[in-house]
Structure 1
Amino acid sequence: MITLAVPRGPSLAALARRRLVRNRPALAALVMLIAVGLACLLGPLLTGHAPSRIYPDLVRVKPSLSAHPKPDAVRPAIDRLAFRMRLTVEEYSVSDHTVRLTLTSPKPINERSLSYLPRSDLFGPARVLERAEYGRRLVVEAPIQRLYFLLGTDVVGRDLLTRCLVAGRISLLIGLTATLVALLVGVAYGAVSGMLGGGGDALMMRIVDILYALPFVFFVIVLLVFFRAGLWLVLVAVAAVEWLDMARIVRTQTLALKSRDFVRAAHALGLTTPAILARHIVPNMLGPIVVAATLLVPRVILLESFLSFLGLGVQEPATSWGVLIAEGSRSLESAPWMLGAPAGFLVVSLIALNVLGDGLADALDPRLSEPS
């Protein structure tokens, strides 16, 4: 007796991977998101600036590829430092990124005052070349630092590129974590509600309606009564309400799918309700779920921005794209790059998420035929 083996077709995961690879816009969006994530994770270690480092002499510096300080900014910085040191600049010259100064004073100069030069972050440690007039006249030399601010600095002199990358960690963490919670809670709640039907479904949906009726800001204020404002409060507040939309979407899809023939066949074969949900219902609505999730990530990020703008979200010294955008909006006329830099990171991430969501929806749709 000859037994013929029936070849099995590719799995849903293999088909989805194949379709996604062939979708160039979605693949480009995925690469962009990975690049943004890696930049936020590793970029602050490569910029050469600590996110909290303040450069008092380089406040609101415009984005540039050239080094700072500029030649025309060296002399004003020297004059400010000499005023702090209570000295007079008699001579001044710059050559090969080194400044040479002749400092005078009515009294003998205390060389400890020269520490003001490296403290300014514009110059290195000073070296005394010559002493004259019983120490009332010093010739000193100090290297000029070469600092690069590709996206400029903010209102207090912090590197904006470093702050945008560090802020991206917080924004993406909030977006992904809250979306994951919304997926887990919303999918489970909506699927169970749709499969129950009748009175159980009505009761579960009325609970969702009651939670919808609670003002979000009021809910956050109540949480602030018991907890301090910060990152974890934002995560709890956002995750506690964002699963409601996901639950409704999943319930609607479940109601449409449970009357299909393949679900009836699964019931006839004796499969339990949890098995039907896990093997038939949820896999057949992955497309809408993924699309809703990719749209939820930017919405969560924008919601966090709203809370941070009100002072209820991420607090200093931590920062996020929403906090930076709020700061940039207050300095739009004098320093537009402070708004453009974090907004650019946010817009690129949102567009990439939307494009990737559309690509994943097509890749995970079991109704689409495999292209030849």
Structure 2
Amino acid sequence: MSRAWGRLARNRGALAALGLLGAITLACLVGPLLTGHQPGRIYADLVQTPPGLGAHPLSEAVRPALERLAFRMRATVRESVVRDGIMRLILDSSRPIDERSLSYLPRSDLFGPPKVLERSEDGRSLVVEAPVRRLYFLLGTDALGRDLLTRILVAGRVSLLIGLVATAVALVIGVAYGAVAGYLGGRADAVMMRCVDILYALPFVFFVIMLLVFFRAGLGLILVAIAAVEWLDMARIVRAQTLSLRRRDFVRAAEALGLSTVAILSRHVIPNTLGPVAVAATLLVPRVILLESFLSFLGLGVQEPQTSWGALIAEGARAIESAPWLLAGPAAFLVATLIALNLLGDGLADALDPRLAERT
């Protein structure tokens, strides 16, 4: 095993992929706390804002936002000036202006708490001062005005969780099922593998639709649907390895000592299949993530308020002409994760290959 880790450490592509996966995972876990935006926070005045490094609202967007807020306050903006991050405006109305209506300014998240500087005798005119907030949207905002970067990072949590949990469940079921089938052999093996063939014949999308008939769409349903199908390949891999191990001397010695079938499988058979299983697991994770993205793209995956990379890609595809960044952002994260996982899987396959071990 130490030699395998040494060969993996010499594989620069695999190490780079592992570093990229670590960076993406860390960004998804910690990033939403550092972006300065809540994933569900809607900025109604900043809908489909393009990506950029500049602060919002832009100077040309302040006046239209003020006019919309003044309309809610039943007033009009006579004059507005922004200087050194402080906005000064004059509001006029045909009736006395209720100062409580100024709360619309901080509610918009574009301006801070207002302060009344002057008030006319009849109350129909106010001179108000309020700070202009500086909001940054590195990847822009979506069709509702939510920060896209924050939503991508939160969606990454869901996609990575589905990939890891579904893969773990597939490993547990597939390894146990394949090891038992391969070790027992004979009729038991034939019956168990025919059950696998029958499950293979079921169309996956049809299977998901059938589940949706009886259960509500959501994260739990996706985990069950993917895990219920993805263990089939793992079972075949482990069965093939077990068939080659069952006649080895150390297995026969364990049988001669009177060890139970469970003990032989857990102590001697399954540990010797972990090499191919580890490689298959690293290749299964990107497959599961891609499958979840496909289901979310079809509307069969996670539902609001939860989101995933697939759901964001589906939203971006619908607005690709007016806001192409809505598709480019989540697609870039998904593609980078899939490429990194595949490179890491290839690196593990080379590191655990016994033929390469003999050469080195």
Query: Could you state the TM-score of these two structures normalised by the residue count of structure 1?
Result: 0.90
Tell me which residue corresponds to 1:208: 196
Are 1:126 and 2:114 counterparts? yes
Superposition pairs for residues 138-217 of structure 1, below 5 Å? 138-217=126-205
Q: Do the aligned partners of 1:286 and 1:361 also contact (CA within 8 Å) in 2?
A: no
Tell me which residue corresponds to 1:30: 18
Q: 1:275, 1:367 → 2: CA distance?
A: 29
* Contiguous gaps of at least 5 residues in structure 1: 1-11
Q: Do the aligned partners of 1:15 and 1:370 also contact (CA within 8 Å) in 2?
A: no
Q: 1:279, 1:367 → 2: CA distance?
A: 25
- 1:251 Cα deviation (Å)? 1.9
Q: Do the aligned partners of 2:32 and 2:154 also contact (CA within 8 Å) in 1?
A: yes
Distance 1:211 1:235, change over 3 A: same
Superposition pairs for residues 41-190 of structure 1, below 5 Å? 41-190=29-178
Tell me which residue corresponds to 1:6: none
- Greater shift, 142-151 or 27-36, is seen at 27-36
Q: Do the aligned partners of 2:246 and 2:252 also contact (CA within 8 Å) in 1?
A: no
* Contiguous gaps of at least 5 residues in structure 2: none
Q: Do the aligned partners of 2:350 and 2:356 also contact (CA within 8 Å) in 1?
A: yes
Q: 1:175, 1:330 → 2: CA distance?
A: 25
- 1:217 Cα deviation (Å)? 2.5
Tell me which residue corresponds to 1:316: 304
- 1:283 Cα deviation (Å)? 4.3
| Residue identity in the other structure for 2:127 | V
Q: Do the aligned partners of 1:286 and 1:365 also contact (CA within 8 Å) in 2?
A: no
Q: What is the Cα-based RMSD across aligned positions, in Å?
A: 2.0
- 1:280 Cα deviation (Å)? 5.0
How many residue pairs end up in the alignment?
357
Tell me which residue corresponds to 2:357: 369
1:368 match: secondary structure: helix
- Greater shift, 264-273 or 306-315, is seen at 264-273
| Residue identity in the other structure for 1:89 | V
Q: Do the aligned partners of 1:284 and 1:365 also contact (CA within 8 Å) in 2?
A: no
- 1:210 Cα deviation (Å)? 1.2
Tell me which residue corresponds to 2:237: 249
Q: 1:122, 1:370 → 2: CA distance?
A: 65
1:333 match: secondary structure: coil
- 1:281 Cα deviation (Å)? 4.2
Residue 337 of structure 2: which of 346, 349, 371 is its match?
349
Q: 1:134, 1:319 → 2: CA distance?
A: 51
Q: Do the aligned partners of 2:217 and 2:300 also contact (CA within 8 Å) in 1?
A: yes
- 1:83 Cα deviation (Å)? 1.9
- Greater shift, 15-24 or 328-337, is seen at 15-24
Q: 1:326, 1:118 → 2: CA distance?
A: 33
1:142 match: secondary structure: strand
Residue 339 of structure 1: which of 305, 312, 327 is its match?
327
- Greater shift, 192-201 or 294-303, is seen at 192-201
Are 1:267 and 2:257 counterparts? no
Q: Do the aligned partners of 2:81 and 2:88 also contact (CA within 8 Å) in 1?
A: yes
Distance 1:48 1:370, change over 3 A: farther
| Residue identity in the other structure for 1:329 | A
Tell me which residue corresponds to 1:289: 277
Tell me which residue corresponds to 1:7: none
| Residue identity in the other structure for 1:267 | R
| Residue identity in the other structure for 1:322 | G
- 1:345 Cα deviation (Å)? 0.9
Structure 1 residues 49-91: Cα deviation after superposition (integer angstroms, max 9, x where no partner):
1100000000001111111011111111112212222212122
Are 1:21 and 2:6 counterparts? no
Structure 1 residues 298-349: Cα deviation after superposition (integer angstroms, max 9, x where no partner):
1111221222233322111011111101111101111111111111111111
Q: 2:275, 2:346 → 1: CA distance?
A: 9
Q: 1:370, 1:105 → 2: CA distance?
A: 87
Tell me which residue corresponds to 1:3: none
Structure 1 residues 69-128: Cα deviation after superposition (integer angstroms, max 9, x where no partner):
111111111122122222121222110011110111122211112111111111111111
Q: 1:368, 1:279 → 2: CA distance?
A: 26
Distance 1:25 1:138, change over 3 A: same
1:54 match: secondary structure: coil
- Greater shift, 197-206 or 166-175, is seen at 197-206
| Residue identity in the other structure for 1:264 | D
2:50 match: secondary structure: coil
Superposition pairs for residues 214-253 of structure 1, below 5 Å? 214-253=202-241
Q: Do the aligned partners of 2:245 and 2:251 also contact (CA within 8 Å) in 1?
A: no
Q: Do the aligned partners of 1:182 and 1:243 also contact (CA within 8 Å) in 2?
A: yes
Q: 1:300, 1:309 → 2: CA distance?
A: 14
- Greater shift, 139-148 or 267-276, is seen at 267-276
